[in-house]
Every structure is written in C-alpha cells, then in structure tokens.
Structure 1
Amino acid sequence: MKRERGFTLIELMTTLSVAAIVLSVGVPSFRTIVMDNRLVTQANQFVGAVNLARSTAVRYQRNATACASANYDAAVPSCSATTDWSVGWIVWVDKDRDSAVDANEVISVFAPLADTSSFSSLGTAGFTYDSRGFSLAGGDDLTLCDTRTGETGRFIRVNAVGRTNIARQGCS
C-alpha cells in the first residue's frame, strides 16, 4: 500500500499559529519603520531642494529660490507667503531679475506631503541664494512632524550661509 505524504491538521494549525504570532509582533514595528523612513525621505527631499536652489544660483549667476508653493500644480506655480511648507515647494531661478516666477524659470516642483505631516518654518516662506551661493534672507529653522508624538520628528536648520543640517526632534 502506497503512503500519502502531506501535512496533518495539527501541523497546519501549529504553523499558522506561529505565523500569526510573528505577524502580530512584526507588523506594528514595520509600520513604525515605514513612517520613520517617510519622515527621513521628506526631510532629505527638502534639503535637496534647498541645495538645488543654491547650486542653481551659482550655476546661472542669478538669484535662485526654494519657496513654499501657493499652487504647485499650476502651469506656472508661485511662491506662498505662508511658513507652511507641507503644501509643497518649488525651486526657481530669477533669469530676468524681476523677482517673479515665470514659466521658463521653474527648475523643480515638489508636491504637498502625502500624509498628515506638518512642515513649517519659524519665519520664512523661502530661501533665496545669490550668485555666490549665499542666502539673502539669512537662515531659518523648520520642523517636520507626522501624526505621532515623541521623538519622531525632524528639525532642519538652514543657516545664513545656506548650509543645512537635519536632527531628530520631538513632536507634540
């Protein structure tokens, strides 16, 4: 008589129980990792935009700006007067030196933050750099937080010279 090989019901139930326990422990940790990575990505994306504005100013020998966007999805986006950077931001170079964003001056557009993150500065809605790469308005500090509280946010400092620094910061 030929013997059939396979799993018994007890073996299957034991395996499923172990898998359920491992998933119940691992899924919340994975969610935290995803949220932490999202914050790091958003902070790095902002720093990249500021660095892009700075290098563009030097390259074109014209003022270049990274600013919070009033309408990132418009044909010609404009800068916002608000200090809320979660609405998205743009990088543009003032080729004609009229201090206004024109269609051919937009270098890059960044969409609003996808989740319920808050991203605001203490006082500036934009960082403008001159042809030597120096900030015209000085520096500012920005805070990037998501829905969690505690030591989960990011603190971004843009100094008067135009260099950036990212550090962890608590959020409330």
Structure 2
Amino acid sequence: MHVPHPDPARRLAQTSRHAQGFTAIELLIVITILAVLTAMAVPSFGPMIERWRTNQTVSNITSTIYMARSEAIKRGGKVSVRKIANGTDGCTFASTNQEWSCGWIIFADTDEDGNLDAGEEVLQTFQMPTSVDVMNNNSSASFRFDRWGRTNNINAASFAIVPRAGGVASPAATAVCFSSGGRVRVVKESVTC
C-alpha cells in the first residue's frame, strides 16, 4: 500500500512536473504538420466548391421551371420567366439574351409579351452567385407557360451552367434540359442536351 508523502511542497513539485503542457518545439512541429496538410487539401476544395455552386444553380433552374409551370396551370396561363437585365444591382454578366448570369424572375405576364410591365406581379426572383455562368442555349431573354403548363417554345429549351473559373471544360459543367411539356432532365459534365 502506497502512503502519500507528508511534505506538501514535494507533492506540489511532483504534480506540476506532470502538468507543464507543450514545449515550443512540440507546438512548432504540430503547426508545421497542420500547414502541410492544409496546403495539400486546399487545391481539392476548388472543384468541390464549383460542383456545389453548379448544383445549387441547377436546383434553382429546376425549381423555377416547376414553379412557373404550376403557377401557369393554376392561373390559366400567362406566367413568364425572364432573365434579370444586365446592370441590375451591379451585375455585369448578362449582356446578351443568351446570358442569364444575373438571375431571373418569374412573373404573372398578363399581356403575354415576355416583359415585366408595370402592374404585373413578380412571383419569385432568383439571384445568381457571381462565380457561375448561366447560358440559355435558345438565346432567348424569356419564356412563358400556357394554361396547360407548356412552354411557348415548341422545341426543347436548355440551359448551360458553367463555373466561371473552370469554364466549359470543368467537370462541374451541367446542362438543364426541359421539354415543351415541362419535363426536366439534368446532364452532368456537358453543356448541351
């Protein structure tokens, strides 16, 4: 049986010897190892973030189509989707009809002209992250749905979603295709249907 030493100073010295913590050299070694591991891991985050942003945009386009179609059926038609104009809120990534990179709106298009006019109700707005390009492959600034949920474009429509940094060759590039009846298909690693 072990009996503790009666001298409190000696007991304190034994306790403090075991609770000293890390030395400066040990801390430097741990920091160096963490720095090396971080440097090795950072390049692999770029493609992962590109895929995440692209997937988010694909989800937004898909939900736009479903919502606009649903609203058109509910309202007896007259629902349009239109790109947000270049220069809106400082966005400069939509200078042509084909470029939808500033985002888009869904609205009740009472006169069915594809333009948001005074008095027409905005149903939803989608803003785009600045690192993703969205291209309407039909080069149209808008499309609309009729009372049966069909688009005004008889041909299938499609969008190309591309990370700005990686471009068309990026593995995160994706195409969203939908038929005139509103059926949506997503094609990974491609910008065409």
Name the counterpart of 2:153.
137
**1:11-22 correspondence runs (5 A):** 11-22=26-37
The superposition leaves residues 24-56 of structure 1 with CA deviations (integer Å, 9 ceiling, x where unpaired) of: 122222232222101110111111112111111
User: How many residues are paired up?
Assistant: 164
Task: Report the CA distance between 1:98 and its aligned residue.
Answer: 5.1
Map Cα deviations across residues 109-143 of structure 1 (whole Å, 9 max, x no partner): 2224422x321122233221111111121321221
Identify if the C-alpha distance between structure 1 residues 81 and 12 changes in structure 2 by more than 3 Å, giving closer, same or farther.
closer
* Structure 2 residue corresponding to 1:154, chosen from 174, 178, 184: 174
What is the TM-score normalised by the length of structure 1?
0.82
TM-score, normalised relative to structure 2: 0.74
Which one-letter code corresponds to 1:153 in the other structure? A
CA contact 2:77–2:149 (8 Å) conserved in 1: no
CA distance in 1, matches of 2:50, 2:179: 27
Bigger radius of gyration among the two: 2
The SS at the match of 1:42 is: helix
Secondary structure of 2:130 counterpart: coil
Letter in 1 for 2:98: T
For 1:9-158, list aligned pairs within 5 A. 9-70=24-85, 73=88, 82-94=97-109, 96-97=110-111, 99=113, 100-102=115-117, 103-115=119-131, 117-123=132-138, 124-138=140-154, 139-146=156-163, 147-148=165-166, 149-158=169-178
Ranges of 4+ aligned residues in structure 1 off by more than 4 Å: 71-74
Q: Secondary structure, in 3 states, of the residue corresponding to 2:174? A: strand
Contact 1:89–1:110 (8 Å) recurs in 2? yes
Structure 2 residue runs of 5 or longer lacking an equivalent are: 1-9, 90-94
Identity of aligned pairs, percent?
22
Q: Which runs of 5+ in 1 are unaligned?
A: 75-79
Separation of aligned partners in 1, 2:51 and 2:176 = 15
Equivalent position amino acid for 1:36 in 2: R
